[in-house]
Structure 1
Amino acid sequence: MDEQLCCLSKLVIKFLKKRTPKKRNVTVPSLPTECMQQVFQHIVDQGEGLYRLYPFLLVNRYWCKNVVPFLWARPFEDLKPENRYKIMLIYLSSLNDQEKSELNSSLKPYKITIPNLKPPLFDYPMLLEELSYKNVEMTAHSCIYKWNSEAFKQKEKEEQILVLSTALCKLFLRKSTNLRTFIIDKFLGHSDIPDCSIFVYNQPGLRNISSLSIDYTRPIMENTIRLLEAIPSICTSIRCLNIRIPFFESNPEVIQAVVEIIQSQTCLTEFSLEGVRSGESKDIINALHQSITLTIIKLENVNITTTTLSTLSLCQNLQSLSILRCQGLTVEEITGAGSSNSNENLWNRMRFNLKILHLKSSPRFPAIPASIIRSAGDFLQELSLDVITTETVESITSRCPNILNLQLYNFLPQHNSLLGKLFQGLKHIKKLTISMHHRHMNRENMAISGRELPVSLEYLKLQCSFNNAQLENLLRECRSPLKTLIIDFRKFEYLDLKVITNFVKSKRTLKYLGIGGRIGWCAAEVKELEILKQRYGVNLIPRPDVDRW
């Protein structure tokens, strides 16, 4: 199905490119609405960008009606500053007479009157799917900046922005029947969000949201706290909950509100927590184990302990766990050193049933990531880590034999000797990423043997430095049927491309090639790439997509 959509979307784009003003009687493809929407959704999902959809507005009215919902679902996304004022005017034109009168009355003390605007062609507020208060503030700021002189007072500016933001929030909460994502974040650091009643009593409001993000890098103020406390009574069907709170924020009201939000949800599947330290993180994590629907948990810059990890292991359906830049675990907790061995007993009993485990910026003590890997479970399929030692390698090979996707970060030349043992224990691996920090990149010290690569490997991504001879030895000795090869060197040269061409000629398995670190190509390189594409069917991954491919 995806291949069919891809082909169809390419045909649509190709058609539009060929369409010129001289061809006035062009037959436009006629597709059912469901097909049109699937094609446009595919273009958006493939990272083509919303800008690729704008030309479709001009084909005819039918195409326009199918494209508009995509462009106005997240209209603030990647919005240029000069366009914020324009989009604000469109939304102001959607206000009813009473709302316009109330807004003008609120702005009168500042000698501001909203301009007379024609009714919009579409009901744009109804199409909104994601509401970020930060985006609302930034858009209101663009209007206030344009309507006022440079001499107006800073305090008055924030008051005016709050008035406009409140009007915009009322409009969205009253009309946005498609609203699914709500992000509580801020643009201005010293002002609060509108009164909580705006979000509680306007219908349909937040009742249908499935994703909530609390992204606060600034002190949380009164109205925000009251809104957090009200959310459990407004919406109980949140599937994705993201909490980001600054380290210095230790307000017990905020932590208790987050706990109650978690406990009130009936179908929570994804949860992430960032920036919460010490006892506050324990209270929040303890609220998670009651959820039988939770499948994904991400902890970043959070204080965790053996007890909190043991609590997470009680989540029956947890499949993906990410522990990134977290602190709190100690070697003593892992080994049970000291007067009590209760923590050691917890680690012995701790068993997850994960499919995905990500460990990054882990403590440098190998016993900690090794113990987490041992507790992951026998069905682990994807693992990423940045502590490559004898302890972690033994944990992987003895407890996680079914890994399909392995990502090794912070790789160093001295880790070369561990790869053979690691790959011998992984018989089913299909995807491998090896990444080295740029400070350690030394093209003379990399000596990964192609013979050691698993014969089941289909995807190889190298984010580390090889010289030309090392790359040639790696690919010449490689016995894996690689379908995707991504080379992200700091300095990629023409001779490296020749090595890849020789590999493609001999293996005939490669379908996708990604090359990072290069902006342009010389004539010889362009010719080489054309040979790979035309003669051997190799598709070149676009440079912006190399990192996330």
Structure 2
Amino acid sequence: MSTQIPLECLEQIFKHLLNYRSTLFNCLLVNRSWCRQVVPLLWSRPFSRLQWKSSLRLIQTYISCMTKDQKSFFTDLDIFIPESSSPLFSYAKYLRKFNYNELSSCVNIWYCDYYQHGDGNIKSDEYIKINLITKELGKFIISHSNLIHELYISKTFGFSQIMDITSFPGAKSSLSHLRKIRITGARYMETKDINDFSNILIGLSQICTQVRDIEIYKFHETSSRIIEGLITLIKSQQNLSKFTVSYWNLNLEPLIFALETQMGLSLHQCDGLDSKIFQTIINSPVGLKKLYLTDNDMSTGTLITLLRNTSGTLNQLTLDERVTISSTSIFETIATHCSSLSHLDIKVLNPNILNLFRPLRQTQLKHLVLNNVSSKGLYDDEVFPEIGKFLPKTLQNLGLIYWDFTLQSLQSFLRNCDCPIKKIFLYKDSGLNDDHLNIITQYARDKGILKSLKFLIRSCGKISIPSQEAIKRAQEVIPLVQGNNRFN
């Protein structure tokens, strides 16, 4: 008697395979039922990580879905599209993540293949054709997609044009469900690009009001007119929970003033971050929930003021190494004022490491990531085990990145940990060997709490370090043991 897996269960299984496209594609071939489940997932993010041949097939498939009248556009450009059978599915309607720049790149590859161009042999006037084809395919996709969740607009290539996709037919329907928007500019943009970006932002503010995540990258002095569009977009959102700004040289104050709800704020390589910028957040009755600060020019004093005044709501904090070089005041402020903080991710560069970590013992942290960006000679076997004594008693998830330790120091470190750690993530330059893994396995057996272990795995031919035998022994004690051959 055969047992059939319910479709609802299959759907959840397939969703977990989104990042494993080859595996998902194999599932496509099992039977019709699986095929109907898998096709929408495969075509929800079709532009991600495509190679040359895959880009060709993608564009060819989209063209095959077009009607005869729509294909006549190519004839006008002296491009002959051969007759083909009708596709089994209307693939465009499954799109959930739309990246206009990736579409342009795929069209560029398809165009080069059609005319048998080698790399770099495209004439400047041919880019006009590529932009026209991209725009036409963009219109086709937008008009057939009814549930796009993520939108990426960028000025990455000099030849690419910024298209106001909010004016495309069907945009009001397809973009009304957006949850994430990422806009990427460039250091040098023409006036037309700036106007187009601004028009897109204004158009989006009129179409979608439920965006949760907005990311803005690489806008500089020449792009100041875009601020008005950003403010309009931000203010039109009802559930914005995350706002990310990177590589920004403009005045941030108007954007900060536009933020009115409890949310996460990420700032990376932004200039002019003084206390005035954060005054609106500090005075907000709702407050800041998540704060991510890296490679900015914010002073330690400004950061301390911000932490003190947002301590009632701040739940997650990510900081780079520059705020930990000069003093332990940041950690003392966290321990004293940030009682709601449960997640801390910080890069460490401080010779006086033990004094730096001492205040952590007083916190209520549940998730801690310590990223060692110092020189390898800074930490020795006597110092590393002592860090275990300062971990909060509430800690459940621990990440240690770029830390070097011997077998003895790892064993002593774990012995000093008296917190209920359920998840451990270790990234060691040289990786873990069998002895390291055996020590962690014994720790898990003694404590009976550890549920997850992730680490770097190295391959030497057909041999892995740690060995598959050591991994299997760990899996007998720890429910989830995962070794990756790269660091994410």
Instruction: Give the TM-score category using the shorter length.
Output: 0.7 to 0.9
Q: Which has the higher strand share?
A: 2
| Contact persistence 1:133–1:186 (CA under 8 A) | no
| Contact persistence 1:162–1:194 (CA under 8 A) | no
| Contact persistence 2:343–2:367 (CA under 8 A) | yes
Cα displacement (A) at 1:317: 5.6
Q: Partner letter of residue 509 of structure 1? A: I
Q: Partner letter of residue 158 of structure 2? A: G
Secondary structure of 1:245's aligned partner = strand
Cα displacement (A) at 1:175: 0.9
Change (3 A) 1:321 1:447: closer
Q: Does 1:489 align with 2:428?
A: yes
TM-score, length-normalised on structure 2?
Answer: 0.86
Equivalent residue number for residue 77 of structure 1:
48
Secondary structure of 2:124's aligned partner = helix
Cα displacement (A) at 1:523: 8.6
Superposed, 1:69-148 pairs within 5 Å as: 69-105=40-76, 107-108=77-78, 112-148=79-115
Distance (Å, rounded) in 2 between the aligned partners of 1:497 and 1:30: 36
Cα deviation code 1:96-115 (max 9, x no counterpart)? 1221113321x12xxx2222
Superposed, 1:404-443 pairs within 5 Å as: 404-423=342-361, 425-426=362-363, 428-437=364-373, 439-440=375-376, 442=378
Cα deviation code 1:199-220 (max 9, x no counterpart)? 3676635344333221123544
Change (3 A) 1:409 1:526: same
Change (3 A) 1:194 1:251: closer
Equivalent residue number for residue 294 of structure 2:
324
Higher relative contact order (CA 8 A, sep 6+): 2
Distance (Å, rounded) in 1 between the aligned partners of 2:205 and 2:355: 53
Equivalent residue number for residue 139 of structure 2:
170
Q: For structure 2, which runs of at least 5 residues remain unmatched after alignment?
A: none
Q: Partner letter of residue 540 of structure 1? A: V
Cα deviation code 1:372-399 (max 9, x no counterpart)? 3222214544333333333122212211
Equivalent residue number for residue 4 of structure 1:
none
Change (3 A) 1:63 1:529: closer
Q: Does 1:533 align with 2:475?
A: yes
Equivalent residue number for residue 20 of structure 1:
none
**Residues 60-69 or 387-396, more deviating:** 387-396
Change (3 A) 1:461 1:102: closer
Aligned length: 470
Q: For structure 1, which runs of at least 5 residues remain unmatched after alignment?
A: 1-25, 330-362
CA RMSD across the alignment? 2.9
Superposed, 1:12-411 pairs within 5 Å as: 27=2, 29-32=4-7, 34-44=8-18, 49-105=20-76, 107-108=77-78, 112-150=79-117, 153-194=122-163, 198-199=167-168, 204-217=173-186, 219-221=188-190, 222=192, 223-247=196-220, 249-279=221-251, 281-288=252-259, 291-292=260-261, 294-303=262-271, 304-313=273-282, 314=284, 316=286, 318-327=288-297, 329=298, 363=299, 366-385=300-319, 386=321, 387-388=323-324, 389-411=327-349
Of residues 430, 447, 455 in structure 1, which corresponds to 2:384?
447
Change (3 A) 1:315 1:90: farther
Change (3 A) 1:102 1:402: closer
**Residues 458-467 or 217-226, more deviating:** 217-226
| Contact persistence 2:290–2:315 (CA under 8 A) | no
Cα displacement (A) at 1:27: 4.5
TM-score, length-normalised on structure 1?
Answer: 0.77
Secondary structure of 1:204's aligned partner = helix
Identity value in percent: 23
Change (3 A) 1:136 1:448: same
Equivalent residue number for residue 7 of structure 1:
none
Distance (Å, rounded) in 2 between the aligned partners of 1:324 and 1:145: 40
Secondary structure of 2:24's aligned partner = helix
Cα displacement (A) at 1:66: 1.0
Cα displacement (A) at 1:544: 5.2
| Contact persistence 1:410–1:437 (CA under 8 A) | yes
Secondary structure of 2:472's aligned partner = helix
Secondary structure of 2:399's aligned partner = strand
Distance (Å, rounded) in 2 between the aligned partners of 1:523 and 1:81: 33
| Contact persistence 2:266–2:293 (CA under 8 A) | yes
Distance (Å, rounded) in 1 between the aligned partners of 2:472 and 2:174: 54
Distance (Å, rounded) in 2 between the aligned partners of 1:309 and 1:125: 43
